[in-house]
Structure 1
Amino acid sequence: MREYSVPVLVDVPASANLTDTVFRRAEREPGTVALRRKIGDDWIAVTAGEFRDQVASVAKGLIAAGIGAGDRVALMSRTRYEWTVIDYAIWAAGAASVPIYETSSSDQIGWIISDSGAKAVFVELESHEETVREALAELPDLKDVWRIEGGALEELIAGGAEVSDETLSERRTGRGAADLATIVYTSGTTGRPKGCSLTHDNLLFTARNVAAGPLEPLFTAAGRAALLFLPLAHVFARMIQLVLIETGTVLAHTPNMKNVAPDLQAFKPTFLLGVPRVFEKVYNGAEQKAAGDGKSKIFHAAADTAIAWSRAQSAGGPGLGLRLRHTLFDKLVYGKLRAATGGRLSAAVSGGSALGERLAHFFRGVGIEVFEGWGLTETSAPSAVNMPGANKIGTVGKPFPGVTIGIGDDGEVLVKGRHVFAGYWNDDKATGEAIDADGWFHTGDVGELDKDGYLRITGRKKEILVTAAGKNVAPAPMEDLIRAHPLISQAMVVGDDRPFVAAIITLDPEALEQWKGSNGKTGATIADLSTDPAILAEVQKAVDRANRSVSKAEQIKKFTVLDSDISEESGHLTPTLKVKRNIVMRDFAEHIDSLYG
């Protein structure tokens, strides 16, 4: 078995827990700005001392409300300042947090709260509370429901006023590295979500070694600041939150994806966290705007130049002609794109699925380098990540310090390290199936390690399709290429036990608005456009591009365009925009069957 290891950079003592940095920084540098919170149109500074005081006050309220050491407290909210305060307050009270996606159904909430044994739950909005109340009949152990927008934090703080600093300190320092910090339930692309038990050591070890290792330059630059908009209920954004707090990078939140563009311009981050779909939409939006302004040729020439310039960085550097073109387009195009992100953004981390080499090269050529990483909830988010000065586009980087990655005989990616979870909550059988006798966690992803230790993910073991002719097909790379088309929202390749490979595709409603205006079809619906010859020709171009990346036996022979988009709200995507293949297969079985009729 091929393996690659990177030595540990930062150890975590047995007495450490996630709240230590918050309380220590407040003692040493109480006036330093730690976060910024948006109130109205203003970004208000929150100092390290103020943040510690708010965390401590809410923690005292939890203690007064009867939350004991080791108890679980659920948290259901959009990404916002209070999310971070509550997360750290739960830990400071000696309890463990259980995040819930704010889009979860009553059944999902009921399962997570009952399985975790949560004693109480924080919700953000009245609608969230109503959904939780629907599940209360099945949740006899649930003690309290606290609504953020209903003044719950203020009430908790008032209720904890009599709890002494000594009591809080005893509770907070009574939890060590080996203790449970959080149970994060997988978003469930298949089956019922499983709770991943992550300890303080899992999360602290990861945050400190990532921050001191591959991504260290991103968190030591002057004026460093980051804007989070991905759901903090997901381990990816959660880990970045921890890294930002550990490194003292100024952290801000935006709860609504629709507000990301204006918030970027106002907050002016230096660092951003995203999933591939976010970067695709940024590119597609810029392309559509250029088309609307009659500047398509300029944009495409600029994009090609950015990509060529980035590729040249990995091949000895650009020549004089390319440097001159790049300088010209930097004034005409790239500078405007950077200005749209606030003008200070130079780096981003992408995870969740493959970004695609063309898009990664484009952003690096524009001046915003995107570093791909890879991991799972069970590995506290990252196991590998690219790094400044050694970004090998097309890979997900090397293991971060303290991690070993191996490739099994069947191509499965295996992982060892202190970042690997303690096990599945209430499910020893599943834990035993995931971690073998030699301590390797079996990720279910398929990949390969190059001679320098960079990992390339080539597919998902459970998602490998086997056609009726016995051909193994990895759908993800083709889906990524199809989805890169500006008019396409999602693509899912099918063909398991079928005579050939096919695909079902959905259209992007936002991108279609621009296209309809430019093509004289302003009144057309998505249903109308799903059979429109011009649209089908565009989809065919995307499919042809994907087909050029694989052998003939793996190529998509037919596709169908659905008459509606699929989304998280429709139940077909996870909160990080991954397709729930089994749900799509079930709900669109007739469409898939028609491809083989």
Structure 2
Amino acid sequence: MIKENFIKLYENSYKENWDLPCYTDYGEGITFTYGEVAEEIAKLHLLFHHCNLRRGDKIAIIGKNNSRWCIAYMATITFGAIVVPILQDFNPDDVHHIVNHSESVFLFTSDTIWDTLEEEKLDEIRGVFSLTDFRCLHQRDGETIQKFVKHMDEAANKAYPQGFSKENIEYTTLSNDKVMLLNYTSGTTGFSKGVMLTGNNLAGNVTYGIRTELLKRGDSVLSFLPLAHAYGCAFDFLTATAVGTHVTLLGKTPSPKILMKAFEEVRPNLIITVPLVIEKIYKNVIQPLINKKGMKWALNIPLLDSQIYTQIRKKLIDALGGRFKEVIIGGAAMNPEVVDFFYKIKFPFTIGYGMTECGPLISHSPWNEFIPGSSGKILDIMEVRIDSEDAYNITGEIQVKGENVMKGYYKNEEATNEVFTEDGWLKTGDLGTIDVDGNIYIRGRSKTMILSSSGQNIFPEEIEAKLNNLPFVTESLIIERNKKLVALVYPDFETLDSLGLNHEDNLKTIMDENLKSLNKIVANYEKVSQIQIYPTAFEKTPKKSVKRYLYNSIAED
């Protein structure tokens, strides 16, 4: 059990960082200090008391990252209720299902998302609140919520006649073993499962961030990953708030153009991101630079190459704000070519590994200890084993146990039993090996592994990484069809257009050449039989990994 009480971390932080900036809505000129956040939380607690909410009641939140999203989350857990963050990418039917399955009684949502929902399909909901200003959007018949919210300031003045001060901050006493969060995974089939995370699971992640000084008091971060996802939530939000960091919430789709401008303005001390963002920067900014004829020549000259790499590194660091200690990349597999290049230029990046069921962190190494090809070192509060005869050399399922491992899936005993071994280890579904120092090396997912006709294990992610580096390929997907490997490719139409190349006439020739090049660099049992053009980008989960199950049954043209 983690010794620090999860809720008390925030009770202390709001007191100690009272005057510091806490949350800022990017581009909207709205900033809350830690003291102002604590006062907003106190008002919501008055509302919860008015409605006779009890410890363990569920409160759902769905909407873009903004200050009030964070305040609603904090008000929920510090009251002793259970927060149910929902990814805003979910369709209305999934949202209805999650709200009902979790038995949520309150819903905080953006006005636009509320317009897509049907109140008669939300069985247990007593009140719905706007993430713009906390006004009541809907109340169940017989409730007096709207009237109370209209007079919230009067209720606060009555409760705190001397004005709200840091001495008034006192949150519920709740032990770390209690469930505080239901996180519904995106899943790959059907409706997602509700991951039950305790205060201990959350404290395990947050105290790791504190102990390793990922963030400190007075630091700044830019939150652009969805806070309803465990990865961005744990560090950009929960760890940041626990130590007195200033969190700027992007609240927009993080395109490279928007991100670069925001990095320049916020100048974050830590960057939490997914591979897709970094790979786009590499492909659009760095690759064209190093592929120039003169540059290729210069990079083959000793001493000169190191000077050029130093300049590229400086340019990249400056573009990301110039103040960060490291970039942590996680959530999906990273292209090995990008990893090798960043390592070569000594860029301060590291790749971590986790899953929602661990809230999320399983392994991480600081950038100066990171080993390329690995996903970091198992956390000091976690254990790892490989389900194979030789964990160091033979690929097997990665299994973990420790402080961060969830309690189970909410109201789904069957799924909980399936994901744990008989002796209590969590089965991650990822395949890999470890080394003697506890570094984890991931090969692929057990669900996506393809068994060749000769009995070889094929990891499609490894072939895709090679194919994605070839000309005019934006992204690819390897599937099995009639015992042969087929590559679905979404081409780089933008570059084709910029060069004046006709799609119909040129694409087949280009992809035929790519197929030859690919089959020269993969093993014999990994050879691809054909490349099939796919007209649109592949559908992805909120953490930007492809929903593979949607494409397995695609028929041949």
Query: Which interval holds the TM-score relative to the shorter structure?
Result: 0.7 to 0.9
The yes-or-no answer on 1:72 pairing with 2:39 is no
Counterparts in 2 of 1:96 and 1:470: CA distance versus 1, 3 Å: same
Q: What is the alpha-carbon distance in structure 2 between the residues aligned to residue 584 and residue 169 of structure 1? A: 55
Encode CA deviations 1:186-233: one digit per residue, 9 max, x unaligned. Answer: 111233211100011111022212441xxx25435x963221111111
State the SS of the aligned residue for 1:183.
Answer: strand
Q: Equivalent residues in 2 for 1:302-321 (5 A)?
A: none
**8 Å Cα contact 2:68/2:132 also seen in 1:** no
Q: What is the alpha-carbon distance in structure 1 between the residues aligned to residue 500 and residue 513 of structure 2? A: 21
Q: Identify which of 131, 135, 145 aligns with 1:152.
A: 135
Q: Identify which of 18, 29, 44 aligns with 1:30.
A: 18
2:266 aligned residue: 267
Q: Equivalent residues in 2 for 1:20-169 (5 A)?
A: 20-40=8-28, 46-124=32-110, 126-133=111-118, 136-149=119-132, 151-152=134-135, 157-158=152-153, 161=156
Structure 2 spans left out of the alignment, 5+ residues = 137-148, 389-394
Q: What is the alpha-carbon distance in structure 1 between the residues aligned to residue 128 and residue 57 of structure 2? A: 15
The yes-or-no answer on 1:436 pairing with 2:421 is yes
1:287 deviation in Å?
A: 4.4
- TM-score, normalising length from structure 1? 0.81
Q: What is the alpha-carbon distance in structure 2 between the residues aligned to residue 301 and residue 248 of structure 1? A: 48
- Which is richer in helix? 1
Q: What is the alpha-carbon distance in structure 2 between the residues aligned to residue 111 and residue 301 of structure 1? A: 58
1:177 aligned residue: 176
Q: What is the alpha-carbon distance in structure 1 between the residues aligned to residue 328 and residue 274 of structure 2? A: 8
State the SS of the aligned residue for 1:506.
Answer: strand
1:403 aligned residue: 382
Task: Indicate the RMSD between aligned Cα atoms, in angstroms.
Answer: 3.0
1:187 aligned residue: 186
Q: Identify which of 303, 306, 318 aligns with 1:326.
A: 306
Q: Equivalent residues in 2 for 1:578-597 (5 A)?
A: 578-586=545-553, 589-590=554-555, 593-594=556-557
The yes-or-no answer on 1:494 pairing with 2:475 is no
Q: Give aligned pairs, total.
A: 530
State the SS of the aligned residue for 2:104.
Answer: coil
Encode CA deviations 1:492-546: one digit per residue, 9 max, x unaligned. Answer: 11116x33211111134xxx434422x124xx6xxxx3x442x445555665665
The yes-or-no answer on 1:446 pairing with 2:431 is yes
The yes-or-no answer on 1:504 pairing with 2:488 is yes
Counterparts in 2 of 1:218 and 1:139: CA distance versus 1, 3 Å: closer
State the SS of the aligned residue for 1:226.
Answer: strand
Identity of aligned residues (%): 23
1:383 aligned residue: 362
1:326 deviation in Å?
A: 2.7
Q: What is the alpha-carbon distance in structure 1 between the residues aligned to residue 497 and residue 42 of structure 2? A: 54
2:524 aligned residue: 552
The amino acid across from 2:50 in the alignment is A
1:3 aligned residue: none
1:352 deviation in Å?
A: 1.5
**8 Å Cα contact 1:22/1:48 also seen in 2:** no
Q: What is the alpha-carbon distance in structure 2 between the residues aligned to residue 541 and residue 239 of structure 1? A: 44
Q: What is the alpha-carbon distance in structure 1 between the residues aligned to residue 360 and residue 329 of structure 2? A: 12
The amino acid across from 1:335 in the alignment is K
State the SS of the aligned residue for 2:405.
Answer: coil
Q: What is the alpha-carbon distance in structure 2 between the residues aligned to residue 491 and residue 53 of structure 1? A: 49
2:2 aligned residue: 11
2:141 aligned residue: none
The amino acid across from 2:69 in the alignment is W
The yes-or-no answer on 1:235 pairing with 2:230 is yes
State the SS of the aligned residue for 1:463.
Answer: coil
The amino acid across from 2:121 in the alignment is E
1:562 deviation in Å?
A: 1.1
Q: What is the alpha-carbon distance in structure 1 between the residues aligned to residue 400 and residue 65 of structure 2? A: 30
**8 Å Cα contact 2:18/2:35 also seen in 1:** yes
Counterparts in 2 of 1:22 and 1:223: CA distance versus 1, 3 Å: closer
Encode CA deviations 1:444-489: one digit per residue, 9 max, x unaligned. Answer: 1111012222110111111111245544311122223333457433
**8 Å Cα contact 1:37/1:46 also seen in 2:** no
1:104 deviation in Å?
A: 1.4
Encode CA deviations 1:210-264: one digit per residue, 9 max, x unaligned. Answer: 441xxx25435x9632211111111111111222223333322212113222111
2:240 aligned residue: 244
**8 Å Cα contact 1:374/1:384 also seen in 2:** yes
**8 Å Cα contact 1:219/1:247 also seen in 2:** yes
Counterparts in 2 of 1:203 and 1:299: CA distance versus 1, 3 Å: farther
**8 Å Cα contact 1:468/1:500 also seen in 2:** no
Counterparts in 2 of 1:357 and 1:369: CA distance versus 1, 3 Å: farther
Counterparts in 2 of 1:289 and 1:480: CA distance versus 1, 3 Å: closer
State the SS of the aligned residue for 2:132.
Answer: helix
The amino acid across from 2:3 in the alignment is V
1:95 deviation in Å?
A: 0.9
Structure 1 spans left out of the alignment, 5+ residues = 1-9, 306-320, 567-571
